[in-house]
Chain A
């Protein structure tokens, strides 16, 4: 069975600082993909970044980077230079060979001015 665990229900970060949101996963699939989504208070789910299990390098997308440690089964999201607009729920998700995407419980990030 596949499982995603996000152990930080809430996080605070000062504006302009970097923050790391934790995600660990469990799967028996040899090949899988890891995703991060942002959900602001308005409710829409916004795709941020993707990491493939066989990718040699950590994924980056602008201020977002994914710290992928395959042996530890972790895929932490790093947001650099936090902005007030980064305040939102953040979800880690995984997709295996069967195609469905499963989500963690989420981390609520609050950026302080």
Chain B
């Protein structure tokens, strides 16, 4: 169990550029979540997958955001035409789906995005 891995740790980009983040979950976990966290706030749900199926996407999520989990293992989160308001920490988490209510989410260390 090597934990949830996120890359890159930091990303600085100019407004209008596209960025892509990667998340590798714990290997036996079939659920994968993306969250966004700004300073002093709780994590905000973006989307989650069970295996390769995207089960829910936040209504707050702009269509500039897209996430994939093509083979049910790692996931990517892409932000197109970045805006300064996208600057945040992007957290990935994974969990088991059996007895899903009690299975805690295990978080990665996040990708910090700064849009200049």
Contacts and interface: CB of A to CB of B under 8 A. Distances in A.
Interface of A: 4, 6, 31-33, 35, 43-45, 47, 50, 52, 91, 93, 95-96, 98-106
Highest count of chain A CB atoms <10 Å: which of B35, B42, B56, B107: B42
Contacts of A96: 101
Interface in B57-116: 89, 91, 93, 97, 100-102, 104-107, 109-110
B41 A33 contact: no
Contact of A47 (B35, B42, B45, B106): B106
Contacts of A35: 104-105
A95 B95 CA distance: 12
15 contacts: A44-B109, A45-B93, A50-B102, A50-B104, A96-B101, A99-B56, A99-B97, A100-B45, A101-B33, A101-B105, A102-B45, A103-B35, A103-B42, A103-B45, A105-B41
Contacts of A99: 31, 48, 50, 55-56, 97, 100
Contact of A100 (B42, B56, B97, B102): B56
Interface of B: 31, 33, 35, 40-45, 48, 50, 55-56, 89, 91, 93, 97, 100-102, 104-107, 109-110
B104 A32 contact: no
A101 B45 CA distance: 7
A38 B35 CA distance: 16
10 closest Cβ contacts across the A-B interface?
Answer: A103-B42, A33-B101, A45-B107, A47-B104, A103-B43, A106-B42, A105-B42, A91-B42, A100-B45, A104-B42
Given A106-B41, A106-B42, A98 B56 contact: yes
A91 B107 CA distance: 13
A79 to B, nearest CB: 18
A94 to B, nearest CB: 10
A24 B105 CA distance: 20
Contacts of B106: 47
Contacts of B41: 105-106
A31 B56 contact: no
